[in-house]
Amino acid sequence: MTIEEVQNEIIEEFAMFEDWEERYQYMIDLGKDLPLIEEKYKTDDNIIKGCQSKVWVHANMQDDKVNFTADSDAIITKGIIAILIRAFSNQHPKDILEANTDFIDKIGLKEHLSPTRANGLVSMIKQLKLYAIAYQTQLN
């Protein structure tokens, strides 16, 4: 699946819920299914700066595709990073760099987060794209 196809799937899933309480619960459930980072990668180097909660992200590349794992000490934040990883994991670095993140606005996520969580969301996206830049550079 392309990034856009995954994002559209996420938009459709969020549209099924009536209110934000149900959407938050869905995000929490997504966080429970997150591909968890190995304990050895839960280091200060892998913490996303700018997040209120602790969020660790690790990336590796296999077959020219970037795979992400993550964890967080907060359940909502874990759900947010799970959504982002679902959209961007197992994709070519160039595709990650070129992908837009409009789907976040389309599901209404940013407007339903506190200002500090919204800043954390931006930091998470930035970090995933930084990993993609690093891996794209290796491919060039």
Cβ-Cβ contacts under 8 Å for 77 (sequence gap 6 or more): 31, 51, 52, 53, 55, 117, 120
Length of the chain as a residue count: 140
3-state secondary structure 87-123: HHCCECHHHHHHCCCHHHHHCCCHHHCCHHHHHHHHH
**Is-catalytic flag, 22?**
no
Taking the alpha carbons at both ends of the chain, their separation in whole angstroms is 24
The catalytic position among 34, 48, 51, 84 is 51
Report the DSSP beta bridge partners of residue 47. 56
Distances (CA, A) of 104 to 8, 37, 121: 10, 23, 10
Residue positions annotated with a catalytic role: 51
